[in-house]
Amino acid sequence: MAIATESQQQHKASAERSPVEKQRWTLEDFDIGKPLGRGKFGHVYVAREKRSQHVVALKVLFKSQLKESQVEHQLRREVEIQSHLRHPNILRLYGYFYDQKRVYLILEYAAKGELYKELQKCKYFSERRAATYVASLAGALIYCHGKHVIHRDIKPENLLVGAQGELKIADFGWSVHTFNRRRTMCGTLDYLPPEMVESVEHDANVDIWSLGVLCYEFLYGVPPFEAKEHSDTYRRIIQVDLKFPSKPAVSSAAKDLISQMLVKDSSQRLPLHKLLEHPWIVQNADASGVFRG
């Protein structure tokens, strides 16, 4: 009798708490559903936590592959950083567990999948859609920077879309918790600011540059410094060789904002709180952060 009562109480308590509150998880706690995608180090599945019925994304990483690629340290940093962030436009990391062969990350489920695919489908976004996304990401980055977290790898592939159509920054693999200026070269070439391409010190303003590159790609469908050869992309970034094609037609207000973000001297880039006051954002962004097409 006493045991039954205790287990009933446990069940009630676990149904009330979110997955984040549990200390120790095992695979037994989840019903595994369909695969959502495949990453470099493993697979991602939709899953339901049995007691709370909370739907999550379970990322399964193989220890052997993490070790081989020497990214265990990077993963630890990613988990440490992402699990402490709470923002509607940042993908939650509720917790993790592991067995002999695998590491499992319990992630917020982003029902509408990858933004990258949506951009490929549409080729480029409308100004209202782009501004709404850029404003919501600026809010998320202001939050990160306030916690001394620099993302350093903002690009369409690292953005997921939630059930309401809101963006979620995922993949904090290159992010860093810092009080100092850094020198490490990381991120993807097209989105790297001049100071990282040249491996000189950088700070949180790297994320303003990447958001400028992203804004350009939302509006034109291609990143601004794209070139056939890596060496040409490097050169174009260092020279800030920024050109605005005549098609698709983009407003001068949008071009003005991008030009204020893609500035070589990182201290002269438009601060994110000023970005939110820029006329293009004010006129086009939906304050809810959700684009309603």
Rounded to a whole number of angstroms, the minimum distance from the CB of residue 168 to ligand AMP is 8
* Least Å from the CB of residue 58 to ligand AMP: 9
| Cβ distance to ligand AMP smaller for residue 194 or 289 | 289
Q: For the chain, give percent helix, strand, coil, nearest 5.
A: 40, 20, 40
163-222: contacts with ligand AMP (CB under 6 A): 171
Active site residue 99: no
DSSP one-letter string for 152-175: ---SGGGEEE-TTS-EEE---TT-
Check binding of 39 to ligand AMP (CB under 6 A): yes
Catalytic residue chosen out of the listed positions 29, 99, 153, 256: 153
- In the complex, what is the shortest distance from the CB of residue 120 to ligand AMP, in angstroms, rounded to a whole number? 13
Name the CA dihedral angle for 225, 227, 232, 238, rounded to a multiple of 10 degrees.
0
Contact call for residues 29 and 97 (beta carbons, < 8 A): no
State which of residues 34, 38, 73, 121 lies at the interface with ligand AMP (CB under 6 A): 38
Q: CA torsion, points 14, 19, 25, 26, in degrees to nearest 10?
A: 90
| Residues in 73-132 that interact with ligand AMP by CB under 6 A | 91, 107-110, 113-114
Considering the rule CB under 6 A, would residue 161 count as an interface residue with ligand AMP? no
Provide the token pair at 116. 């990258």
Tally the C-alpha atoms within 13 A of residue 126's C-alpha that lie toward its C-beta: 9
Specify the residue, 38 or 243, whose C-beta has the smaller distance to ligand AMP: 38
Does residue 16 have a known ligand-binding role?
no
Among 154, 121, 144, which Cα is nearest to 223's?
154
Q: Is 109 assigned a ligand-binding role in the annotation?
A: yes
Tell me which residues touch ligand AMP (CB under 6 A): 36-39, 44, 57, 91, 107-110, 113-114, 160, 171
Which residues are catalytic, by number?
Answer: 153
